[in-house]
C-alpha cells in the first residue's frame, strides 16, 4: 500500500482507460454553440519522471444527427495516437511506432508544450508541479475548500482540493487566436481504486474538461494501472532528428484569373480579389502568423492597394483565427449576420468593423463583381458563405469540398459535397473553376465526379 504524505511522490508512472467523449474545440455548428462530440475509447499512459505521455484514442461518430466541424462526420472509426517525451512530440500509427517495419512516427513540432500541459494537469501531476514550485505555491480557502495557486506554464494554475485533499478542479489559462484569454478547467470526481490489483492509489472515475465554457473531454474511467515499469517512451530516430520548432509560414501565390490570386503554401488557403481601388481577401485563417504572412503576400502581389475587406467564410476557429490581425490593419470583416454578435462579444471591448451578409452580398467596382452567398443546408456550419466571381466563373469555398490529390482513388460520396453542388444549381451559378480553401485548384467536373454526377 502507498500511504502517508509521500503518496504523490510514490506514483511515477500511470495508465488509465475509459470511454466517453472528446469534442472538437472551436468547431461548433452555430456561433456560441457547444463544440461537437466524438464518441471515444481512451487509453493514456504517462511517466512523471521523463516526463512523457501517450494518449491512444479511437474516435467514432456520435449518435444522431452529426453537425459541426473538426472532421465530422467520420467516414469510419479513426484512431489517433499522440505522444510527448520531454521536448519531443510525435504521432504514431500504432503504439511504439517508428521501431518496427511498416509503422510510422510522424514528428509534431510545436505540440510538446500542450501535451506536457495535459500530463501536468492530471491529479498527481498538478500536485507534483505545485510541490516543485515551493514557496511560490500559495494556499487559501474559497467556499470552504482549500485552493492552491502557483506559477505554471507562463500563467497561474489554480487547484481546488476536496475534503479528502484530492484534486477536484484544475484551472489554467492560455491565449487563443479567436477567444483571447481562455480558461481550461478540468474537474475530477468520484475517486476509486480502479486497479486490477488493489494498490490504494485512488484515481477519479469521472473527468470533465472544458475550454471556452464548453466540454472538450468527458470520460468515465474504468481501469488504472499505477507504477507499471513497462510504461516507456523511446524517441524514434526520425523524431529526434527532426526540427523541434514548426516550419516557417510559407505563402505561395498562384494566378487563377486576371486580378484573382490563390494563396496557398499551408493547410489553409486564401483568395485575393483585386478591385479598382482596393483588394478583397477571402479568409484570414488560423492565427496571427498566418494572417500577417498572407497579407504581406497580397501587398507584394497587388501593390499600392489596401486590403479593404476580409471575407470570413464561417465562424470555425481555424478559419477565423487570423481575423484579429486583419482587423488590426484596418480591414472591414464581412461575415454572415449571425456571426456579428458573437465576434463583438468575444472581441470586447475592442469592436472591429463588421459588415454582414444574410442570404447574398455583393462587392463591385463596375468592372469586377464578387458575390457572396449563404450556403443553405450545410451540417458543417450555419454561417457558411461561399464566394462567386461571375465574370471569371470561379467559386470560392471552405470545408464543404476538400479535394484530395489528383491521383487519389475515389472515396465515398460526402454529403457536404452534394449539398454544395445542389446550392450551385439552386443559385444558377455558372461555375467552371473552384478554389477550395483546403486542397487544390479544381474544376466543376471534379466536384461532379466526387459526387457521382455525370
d(CA 157, CA 140): 13
Tell me which residue of 352, 358, 360, 304 sits closest to 331, measured CA to CA: 352
Please give the Cα distance from 259 to 276 (Å, whole number): 10
b/e sequence 60-97, b meaning 16+ C-beta within 10 Å:
ebbeeebbbbbebbeeeeeeebbbbbeebbbbbeeebb
Looking up cell 468592372 gives 367
pLDDT in tens, 369-414: 999 999 999 999 999 999 999 999 999 999 999 998 888 888 899 9
Whether residue 268 contacts residue 120, with contact meaning beta carbons closer than 8 Å, is answered with no
The CATH architecture annotation of domain 252-450 reads 4-Layer Sandwich (3.60)
pLDDT digits (tens, 9 = 90+) for 133-186: 999 999 999 999 999 999 998 889 999 999 999 999 999 999 999 999 999 999
pLDDT band at 2 (very low <50, low <70, confident <90, very high): very low
Phi, psi of 8 (to 5 degrees): -65, -45
The confidence band for 6, taking pLDDT boundaries of 50, 70 and 90, is low
pLDDT at position 410, please?
A: 85
Average pLDDT over residues 179-196: 95
pLDDT digits (tens, 9 = 90+) for 275-313: 999 999 999 999 999 999 999 999 999 999 999 999 999
- The pTM assigned to this predicted structure is 0.94
Q: pLDDT per residue over 210-246, tens digit each?
A: 999 999 999 999 999 998 888 889 999 999 999 988 8
Q: Give the number of other CB atoms < 10 A from CB of residue 106.
A: 15
Give the Cβ contact number of residue 100 at 10 Å: 8
Q: Give 193's contacts (C-beta < 8 A, 6+ positions apart).
A: 199, 200, 201, 202, 203
pLDDT of residue 408: 86
**Residue extents of the structural domains in the chain:** 7-241, 252-450
Segment 358-362 shows an average pLDDT of: 98
* In the predicted structure, residue 454 carries a pLDDT above the cut 80: no
Average pLDDT over residues 41-48: 97
Amino acid at each position: 500500500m502507498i500511504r502517508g504524505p509521500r503518496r504523490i511522490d510514490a506514483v511515477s508512472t500511470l495508465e488509465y482507460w475509459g470511454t466517453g467523449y472528446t469534442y472538437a474545440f472551436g468547431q461548433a455548428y452555430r456561433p456560441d454553440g457547444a463544440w461537437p462530440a466524438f464518441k471515444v475509447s481512451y487509453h493514456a499512459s504517462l511517466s512523471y519522471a521523463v516526463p512523457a505521455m501517450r494518449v491512444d484514442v479511437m474516435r467514432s461518430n456520435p449518435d444522431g444527427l452529426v453537425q459541426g466541424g473538426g472532421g465530422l462526420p467520420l467516414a469510419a472509426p479513426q484512431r489517433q495516437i499522440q505522444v510527448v517525451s520531454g521536448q519531443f512530440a510525435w504521432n504514431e500509427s500504432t503504439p511504439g511506432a517508428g521501431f518496427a517495419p511498416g509503422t510510422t512516427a510522424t514528428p509534431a513540432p510545436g505540440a510538446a508544450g500542450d501535451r506536457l500541459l495535459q500530463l501536468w494537469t492530471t491529479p498527481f501531476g498538478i500536485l507534483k508541479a505545485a510541490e516543485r514550485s515551493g514557496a511560490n505555491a500559495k494556499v487559501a480557502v474559497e467556499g470552504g475548500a482549500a485552493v492552491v495557486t502557483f506559477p505554471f506554464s507562463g500563467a497561474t494554475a489554480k487547484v481546488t482540493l476536496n475534503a479528502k485533499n484530492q484534486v477536484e478542479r484544475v484551472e489554467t489559462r492560455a491565449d487563443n487566436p479567436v477567444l483571447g484569454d481562455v480558461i481550461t478547467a478540468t474537474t475530477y470526481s468520484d475517486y476509486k481504486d480502479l486497479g486490477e490489483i488493489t494498490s490504494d492509489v485512488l484515481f477519479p472515475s469521472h473527468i470533465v474538461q472544458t475550454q471556452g465554457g464548453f466540454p472538450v473531454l468527458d470520460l468515465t474511467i474504468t481501469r488504472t494501472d499505477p507504477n507499471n515499469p513497462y510504461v516507456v517512451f523511446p524517441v524514434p530516430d526520425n523524431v529526434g532528428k527532426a526540427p523541434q520548432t514548426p516550419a516557417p509560414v510559407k505563402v505561395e501565390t498562384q494566378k487563377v484569373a486576371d486580378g484573382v490570386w490563390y494563396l496557398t503554401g499551408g493547410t489553409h488557403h486564401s483568395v485575393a480579389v483585386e478591385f479598382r481601388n482596393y483588394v478583397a481577401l477571402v479568409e484570414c485563417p488560423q492565427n496571427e502568423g498566418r494572417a500577417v504572412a498572407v497579407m504581406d503576400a497580397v501587398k507584394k502581389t497587388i501593390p499600392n492597394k489596401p486590403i479593404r475587406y476580409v471575407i470570413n467564410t464561417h465562424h470555425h476557429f481555424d478559419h477565423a483565427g487570423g481575423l484579429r490581425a486583419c482587423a488590426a490593419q484596418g480591414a472591414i470583416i464581412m461575415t454572415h449576420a449571425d456571426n456579428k454578435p458573437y465576434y463583438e462579444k468575444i472581441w470586447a471591448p475592442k469592436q472591429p468593423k463588421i459588415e454582414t451578409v444574410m442570404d447574398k452580398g455583393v462587392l463591385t467596382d463596375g468592372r469586377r463583381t464578387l458575390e457572396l452567398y449563404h450556403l443553405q443546408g450545410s451540417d458543417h456550419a450555419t454561417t457558411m458563405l461561399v464566394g462567386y466571381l461571375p465574370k471569371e466563373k470561379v467559386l470560392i469555398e471552405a470545408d464543404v469540398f476538400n479535394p484530395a490529390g489528383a491521383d487519389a482513388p475515389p472515396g465515398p460520396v460526402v454529403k457536404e459535397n452534394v449539398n454544395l453542388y445542389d446550392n450551385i444549381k439552386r443559385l444558377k451559378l455558372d461555375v467552371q473553376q473552384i478554389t477550395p480553401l483546403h486542397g487544390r485548384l479544381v474544376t466543376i467536373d471534379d466536384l461532379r465526379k466526387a459526387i457521382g454526377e455525370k
